[in-house]
């Protein structure tokens, strides 16, 4: 898989946008990042999963997926080795990461809206 294929798959997800974070392309839904490209270098992508999902992806395809080093990796951030990656597995990982971010973005959006007052009831 190439970086362009990863990018294309990420941007094919509903409401996905490409932006930049710390000098790397990132992919977001709402304001929530679900994937990046180019970290630690151009041979890699990254998806933000839950830790239990990360364990499953790494166990199923250790040549494709590896936890990001440090605290981010402990929280589920998972590197994708692009050269070893298959479209099917990356599509599944991107969708899982997108879904997590989409739920968080929706929740954030709902919390930001002012609460409606109940109409005064006539007595």
- Residue-wise pLDDT for 54-106, tens only, equals 999 999 999 999 999 999 999 999 999 999 999 999 999 999 999 999 999 98
Instruction: Scan for tokens 């597995």, then name that residue.
Output: 89
Nearest to 101 by CA among 19, 23, 42, 44: 19
For 6-38, write each residue's pLDDT tens digit: 999 999 999 999 999 888 999 999 999 999 999
Residue 109 has a pLDDT of 75
Residue 116 pLDDT grade (very low, low, confident, very high; cuts 50, 70, 90): low
């Amino acid at each position: 898989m190439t970086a362009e294929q990863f990018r294309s798959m990420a941007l094919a997800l509903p409401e996905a946008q490409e932006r930049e974070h710390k000098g790397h392309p990132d992919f977001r839904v709402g304001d929530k990042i679900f994937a990046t490209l180019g970290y630690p270098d151009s041979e890699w992508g990254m998806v933000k999963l839950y830790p239990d999902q990360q364990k499953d992806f790494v166990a199923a395809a250790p040549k494709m997926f590896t936890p990001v080093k440090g605290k981010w990796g402990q929280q589920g951030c998972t590197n994708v080795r692009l050269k070893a990656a298959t479209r099917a597995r990356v599509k599944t990982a991107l969708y899982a990461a997108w879904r997590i971010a989409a739920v968080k973005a929706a929740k954030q959006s709902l919390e930001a809206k002012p609460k409606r007052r109940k109409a005064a009831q006539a007595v």
